[in-house]
Structure 1
Amino acid sequence: MEYKVIPFVASVSQNKIASKQVAEQLEEIIKYHANSGWQYIRLESVTTFVRPESGCFGLGGTPGYTTSRQMVVFSKTS
């Protein structure tokens, strides 16, 4: 079994219903990869810690933070 994981970042405009736009974008990704033989498994949320940057001589540094990314998981039988 092969697996493929791709990032999913929805892009919405203010003049439409956001949840509908997100659903349509996810559907397009699923259809696109299904046409290549990949089967959709699930949408997975991955939490990541971004390390702080100290900057130059302590100036301009940024604190670390936690962020979440959405990943679309597909599988294919070899």
Structure 2
Amino acid sequence: MEYKVVPFVASIDPKKGNTSHVVEQLQETIRNHVNLGWEYVGLESVITYVQPEYGCFGLGAKPGFTTSNQMVVFKR
């Protein structure tokens, strides 16, 4: 079995202001890959820690932080 994982970054249109636009984006991503022969498995969240940047002598330093990324999983 072969698996494929693609990032999913939803973009909300402030004029529409609801989640239906996000649903349409996810449906389009799934539809495109199904048309290429992939079967949708699920949407997974990957939590990542981004290391801090210390800057030069502390100038421009940025603290580390945790971020969450959505990944769409397919198989065939």
State the TM-score bracket (shorter-chain normalisation).
Answer: over 0.9
Using the size of structure 1 for normalisation, the TM-score is 0.93
Taking only the aligned residue pairs, the percentage that are identical comes to 61
Partner of 1:3: 3
TM-score scaled by length of structure 2: 0.95
What runs of 5+ residues in structure 1 fail to find an aligned partner?
Answer: none
The alignment status of 1:54 with 2:18, answered yes or no, reads no
Matched length: 76
Unaligned runs of 5+ in 2: none
How much does 1:16 deviate? 1.1
The answer for the alignment partner of 2:13 in structure 1 is 13
Distance 1:67 1:7 in 2: 14
| C-alpha distance in 1 between matches for 2:48 and 2:55 | 21
> What SS is found at the alignment partner of 2:20?
helix
